[in-house]
Structure 1
Amino acid sequence: MTDKLTRQAASEALPTWRFLLQRMHLTVRAADAAAAFDFVARVGTVAAAHDRQLDVDLRAPVVHLALSTRAGGGVTDDDVALGRDVDALVAELGLASEPGSLTVVEIAIDAMDIDAVRPFWDAVLGWDVIRRDDVQDPLRLGPAVWFQQMDEPRPQRNRIHLDVTVAHDEAAGRIERALAAGGRLVSDSRAPAFWILADPEGNEACVCTWQGRDPVPGA
């Protein structure tokens, strides 16, 4: 594994890509769904030749790619080499980068006692704590949750909560783990549609399922 590049070096090495949150991102738009699938298949062949992986999100006809070296915590020369071969493929197919469509969202939770709050969010989201003590989706589908240290409580500010939608048969286990991690049950009056939970400092999350939402026949 090669050393991690600086943000500037990574950006200059792959000018059609964009550096967002420790990864290089590229979005292209194919002519149609079939062309998008063909592009993804050919990207897979290129990645296999490098013996490397990259994240692929296909929303036909739009394809989003992201690459980094997880073990290195950022972008390396190996990533750049793969990115350049992907660029050659993009040029060959007559596609173009669409950097204006790139957005990566993180969720910040302000807390007085981060060590007490973090396990709740790790449990209720069902993710992993990875690097910098963020709670991150191991599949990289959802936004990372990070924690900002507060010097004093701020009641009645940032009145938001997260809706965490899970498979109906996962909800009970997810709630159990969140409660065991220091959370508390605020309300189950709308279960099984959703349960309202809170972390040790009162930040809330609703664990949601599809159940209990369909109209009742004859009602």
Structure 2
Amino acid sequence: METLPFWRDLFRYTDLGNGNLGDPTGRQANLNIRGIPADSILQHEFRVDVSLPRSIVRQRVAAAVAAGGRITDDARAPDRWILTDPAGNRVKVSSSLSS
């Protein structure tokens, strides 16, 4: 799954195997990353909005890029970035005022 490292590193989750990612603290929802079969008629994408403390947002953006993502819009940085994972799914990463 080419997108799994991107989401794992963005959220700092643990790889649980079989496309499952989990919050190591147990406080957040797990993610299940599934591929779309090549013969599927429907092709989907999803978009996620994430708010992170200002003290860590740059570190998480850098980790997501290092894991195969790319910054597609940083015109409002450091308040907001739009990242795209290797499959083209987008995430808006905003920095909150709290640290």
For the criterion TM > 0.5, the same-fold answer is yes
Which portions of structure 1, spanning 4 or more consecutive aligned residues, are displaced by more than 3 angstroms? none
**Which of 106, 115, 125 is the matching residue for 2:11?**
125
Pairing of 1:59-208 with structure 2 (within 5 A): 114=1, 116-152=2-38, 154-155=42-43, 157-158=44-45, 160-208=46-94
C-alpha change, 1:175 and 1:142, in structure 2 (3 Å) is: same
| Matched length | 95
Given that 2:19 and 2:34 are in contact with CA atoms closer than 8 Å, whether structure 1 keeps it comes out as no
Query: In the TM superposition, what whole-angstrom CA distance separates every residue of 1:157-177 from its partner, at most 9, and x where no partner exists?
Result: 34x311222110101111111
RMSD: 1.8
Given that 1:167 and 1:209 are in contact with CA atoms closer than 8 Å, whether structure 2 keeps it comes out as yes
> Aligned residues: percent identity?
27
Unmatched tracts of structure 2, length 5 or more: none
Distance in 2, Cα, partners of 1:174 & 1:188: 14
Query: In the TM superposition, what whole-angstrom CA distance separates every residue of 1:162-201 from its partner, at most 9, and x where no partner exists?
Result: 1222110101111111101000111012222211101101
| TM-score, normalised with respect to structure 1 | 0.40
Query: In the TM superposition, what whole-angstrom CA distance separates every residue of 1:73-110 from its partner, at most 9, and x where no partner exists?
Result: xxxxxxxxxxxxxxxxxxxxxxxxxxxxxxxxxxxxxx
Return the letter of the residue paired with 1:204: R
Structure with the higher fraction of residues in strand conformation: 2
Distance in 2, Cα, partners of 1:176 & 1:132: 25
Pairing of 1:49-64 with structure 2 (within 5 A): none
| TM-score, normalised with respect to structure 2 | 0.83
SS at match of 2:60: helix
Unmatched tracts of structure 1, length 5 or more: 1-113, 212-219
- Residue of structure 2 equivalent to 1:26: none
Distance in 2, Cα, partners of 1:128 & 1:165: 19
Q: Which has the larger radius of gyration?
A: 1
